[in-house]
Amino acid sequence: MIDFVDEIKTIQHEIVSWRRELHQIPETGHDIPNTAEYIKKQLKEMGIPYKDNIGGLGIAAVIEGSFAGKTIAMRADMDALAVEEKTELPFASKNGNMHACGHDAHMAMLLGAAKVLNSHKAEMSGKIKLIFQPAEEGPGGAKPMIEAGVLEDPKVDAAISIHVGDIFPGVVNTGNIGICYGTVQACLDRFKIKIKGKGCHGAMPHTGVDPITIAGHVINALQTIVSREVKPTNPAVVTIGKLHGGSSYNIIPDYVELEGTARAIDQGEREKIAAHIESIVAGITRGMQGDYEYEYIFGYPPMKNDPEFTKDMVESIKKVVDEKDIVEIIEPTMGGEDFAYFLLEVPGTYMYLGTNNPEKGIVYPQHNAKFDVDEDLLWKGGAVMAQGAWDWLEKNK
Amino acid sequence: MFDVAKELKDIQQDIVKWRRDLHQIPEIGLELPKTAAYVSEQLTKLGIEHITGVAGYGIVGLIKGGREGKTIMLRADMDALAIKEETGLPFASTNGNMHACGHDTHTAMLLGAAKILNKYKDELKGNVKLIFQPAEEGPGGAKPMIDAGAMENPKADACLGLHIGVIFRELKEGQIGVHYGNIMACLDSFKIRVKGKGCHGAMPHTGVDPVAITGQVISALQTIVSREIKPTSPAVVTIGKLHGGSAYNVIPDYIDIEGTARALDNETREKIASSIESIVAGITKGMHGDYEYSYTFGYPPVVNNAEFTKGFVESAKKIMPEEDIFEIKEPTMGGEDMAYYLNMVPGTFFFLAGGNEEKGITYPHHNSRFDVDEDVFWKGSALMVQGAVDWLENN
């Protein structure tokens, strides 16, 4: 029996070192050349073969066991945010970007798990595919990698990943592992509405069609989608984040532009929301003698964990942490995550490691300029992934 | 007394020349150095005493009558618009600005009136004050000139002004429009900041969404005109600008709204100003947000004095056939800072039809092809002269 906890703890200092080095070279979106080079360098040192430039700068490495078996993917995202860091950590970023969502920790934990698993490949049945993907924060790196074939050759049969931070405040606390047996994150969709009126002098409203007044009614009516159209037990959000129109206080403009996001946990509800928005916009704009343009962009889908897979995963997690530290997430978050695309393709689960630690003053939320993680907990993430992958390969060989 | 119509017809070509000269040097707002210099030069040539530099580029001229009496002021505005002219006229402006509201003709017609009034000043029973003001199109030139004492020394007792063009489409060629009361609206502006509390777009419960509040505010503001104002009192509440947020998936901290309110009387106007705040306060606070609000009382409604206007119509009958004097039924919701003078003293603001379909002069004000029928200039001047002479004589 391999003691993954002990082996990962032994390389905890390396995980921390990788995390700190990555923390100093944050890059955003798909444009992450230095980060990708860094990962490739570590994989090379470990002697793990990889393919690069998958769907952009994505990387996939394979640890091949000596015995036949299935293939499980472990995924880490590599991108940072355009946030100027204000942590004052000795290894704080100085390039204007920041790993304010913990993806540096994700990469470091995955490298840690990879190192340990690679040292046991002689005893391993099946294969482990390490996926390092760009652009989780947008515009999305998972889908392009899948389209480029990352789940083929060898064909992936299951997938796991983990997120650090404080995504479920008060639920997944310091050192806890959060798991969920179903949909745990919402879709991340975007819509654009152009409300078209007919501009005229502000003192002569009857000579035009006022798109601002129409926009008011549209904004109000859109809020009834969640309150009146969606089943009360189905979480959903319709948010308008941007609202722009007009150039002068006394001129009725030709149009007003709105942009927003829609979130839902249920795929059917999501499709209904997309249709309801257009139905409301069409009815109100035309009823008020205006017109509209509408675009709904289906982004990341809702992220649905496989319940059977997750049950097995929990058994593995119990080998790593105390049972009391395993928390079942009942209420999903309305935030999106593009690991969802992997879970549309294969069974798997997405887990959460609580790395905020009020005792150490690590209390800031994700995307905050002072966000940090309790590095002392990073071994746990590596161990959960290694143990989970190993056990699943053993069970399914 | 002299034949006003004949005198003005005789100098019609002077008025046309002044207008064309001014048309080629359009300047905007309060900055009218060339226009003011031109007017001052003409007044000097006419031998009319005047003060320049009144509240910027304003000019006040004075024609002292031979007999003791009151003082009436005649007003013209001098500013143009930031519009690139596309009339194709031989004297079209080429400097990027344009006299697209006819103020060039107002100034020229007032110079014409001044020339004749000055010629016959010994016969006048009292004084005629000439006011050439900047910035009617904004930010306003009348109020600064009044504040600088333009209506004092000698004190103006009445006022008269005109507007050329097609503001009232019901006026036919050669006609004038008069009105005995509230003829143009106030021109007020307001700013509202709807304050929420920004948060992640997927977690609306952790913030206060100013966009959702703004929707309610926009809708409710339209009920001021439909539910709060007397149906027979014309009023407009328009939001012209609406800006907030920087990303589709982030709920912003606030939304900024700018708009204009129009009404024909001060009571309605004040009601609108307070109703807007009351609605904004109620909705924003009821929805856990907050607000900032400012209402700027701009040009007041243009209110003609009924008695003065009656007298003016009698004068007009001496210049033109009675059937061409048209009583305007419906006021316009546009604004005019002539209103400030009319707030101080009795007077009237009348409208001279400047369009001419046969001549293809049909474009609206503020259009890059706007033009006027120059043949009516003498009439505008004559109406001012006759109106001034008669009022001084009768008062």
pLDDT band at B329 (very low <50, low <70, confident <90, very high): confident
Query: Is residue A253 within 8 Å of residue A247, measured between CB atoms?
Result: yes
- Whether B1 shows a pLDDT value over 80: the answer reads no
**Gap between the Cα atoms of A73 and A113, Å rounded:** 12
Nearest Cα to Cα of residue A296 among A322, A329, A270: A270
ipTM: 0.81
On whether both B237 and B361 belong to a single domain, the answer is: no
Range B270-284 average pLDDT? 96
On whether both B172 and B193 belong to a single domain, the answer is: no
- Whether A13 shows a pLDDT value over 80: the answer reads yes
The last residue of a domain, from among B277, B299, B321: B299
- Whether B155 shows a pLDDT value over 80: the answer reads yes
On whether both B39 and B113 belong to a single domain, the answer is: yes
Query: Looking at residue A31, what is its pLDDT?
Result: 97
Query: Looking at residue A344, what is its pLDDT?
Result: 97
Residue-range definition of the domain harbouring residue B204? 187-299
How would you classify residue B360: left for phi > 0, otherwise alpha for psi between -120 and 50, otherwise beta?
left
pLDDT band at B290 (very low <50, low <70, confident <90, very high): very high
A245:B209 CB<8 A: no
As annotated, the residues of chain A forming the CATH 3.30.70.360 domain(s) are 188-300
As annotated, the residues of chain A forming the CATH 3.40.630.10 domain(s) are 4-185+302-395
**Mutation for A interface: B183, B217, B239, most A CBs within 10 A:** B239
Q: Which residues of A touch B216 (CB under 8 A)?
A: 216, 220
Range B114-124 average pLDDT? 97
- Whether A381 shows a pLDDT value over 90: the answer reads yes
On whether both B16 and B139 belong to a single domain, the answer is: yes
On whether both B81 and B155 belong to a single domain, the answer is: yes
Q: Which residues of A touch B301 (CB under 8 A)?
A: none
- Whether B51 shows a pLDDT value over 80: the answer reads yes
Query: Looking at residue B26, what is its pLDDT?
Result: 98
Q: How many CB pairs under 8 A join A and B?
A: 156
The last residue of a domain, from among B243, B270, B299: B299
**Mutation for A interface: B219, B246, B264, B295, most A CBs within 10 A:** B219
Query: Looking at residue A319, what is its pLDDT?
Result: 97
Query: Looking at residue A1, what is its pLDDT?
Result: 80
Query: How many other CB atoms are there within 10 angstroms of residue B60's CB atom?
Result: 25
Query: Looking at residue B162, what is its pLDDT?
Result: 98
Range B34-54 average pLDDT? 98
| Percent of chain B's residues with pLDDT above 90 | 98
Fold assignment, A4-185+302-395? Aminopeptidase (3.40.630)
Question: Which CATH number covers residue B128?
Answer: 3.40.630.10
Burial bucket for residue A189 (CB in 10 Å: 0-12, 13-18, 19+) = buried
Query: Looking at residue A379, what is its pLDDT?
Result: 98
Whole-number average pLDDT of chain B: 96
Assign 3-state DSSP to chain B and report helix, strand, coil percentages, each to 5. 35, 30, 35
Query: Looking at residue B297, what is its pLDDT?
Result: 95
Query: Looking at residue A216, what is its pLDDT?
Result: 97
Query: Looking at residue A177, what is its pLDDT?
Result: 98
pLDDT band at A78 (very low <50, low <70, confident <90, very high): very high
On whether both B19 and B160 belong to a single domain, the answer is: yes
Question: Which CATH number covers residue B256?
Answer: 3.30.70.360
**Gap between the Cα atoms of B53 and A59, Å rounded:** 74
Phi, psi values for residue A392, rounded to 5°: -65, -40
pLDDT digits (tens, 9 = 90+) for B182-194: 999 999 999 999 9
Range B179-207 average pLDDT? 95
Q: Which residues of A touch B205 (CB under 8 A)?
A: none
Q: Is A245 at the interface with chain B, CB within 8 A?
A: yes
Q: Considering its fold, how many domains does chain B have in total?
A: 2
Q: Which one of A237, A253, A261 has the shortest CB-CB distance to B240?
A: A253
Query: Looking at residue B62, what is its pLDDT?
Result: 98
pLDDT band at B349 (very low <50, low <70, confident <90, very high): very high
On whether both B257 and B387 belong to a single domain, the answer is: no
CATH number of A188-300: 3.30.70.360
The last residue of a domain, from among B257, B281, B299: B299
Nearest Cα to Cα of residue A334 among A170, A167, A177: A167
